[in-house]
């Protein structure tokens, strides 16, 4: 997924995969890569991305 999103952070990719699988929101202060990863994942139900 990192390759599709153009990112290299495996931890953020894991957060996205877990949020998609569990239908959970993601809390972050840096949404840039997370948005790219969510776009790459193309989930049927997109988790909420909450910026603090």
Q: Where are the domains of the chain?
A: 2-51
pLDDT per position as a tens digit, 4-48? 999 999 999 999 999 999 999 999 999 999 999 999 999 999 999
- Residue 45 DSSP symbol: S
pTM across the whole model: 0.91
Structure tokens at 35: 């948005």
Give residue 7's pLDDT. 95
pLDDT per position as a tens digit, 23-32? 999 999 999 9
């Amino acid at each position: 997924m990192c390759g599709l999103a153009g990112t290299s952070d495996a931890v953020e990719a894991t957060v996205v995969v877990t949020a998609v699988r569990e239908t959970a929101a993601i809390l972050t202060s840096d949404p840039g890569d997370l948005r790219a990863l969510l776009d790459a994942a193309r989930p049927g139900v997109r988790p909420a991305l909450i910026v603090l």
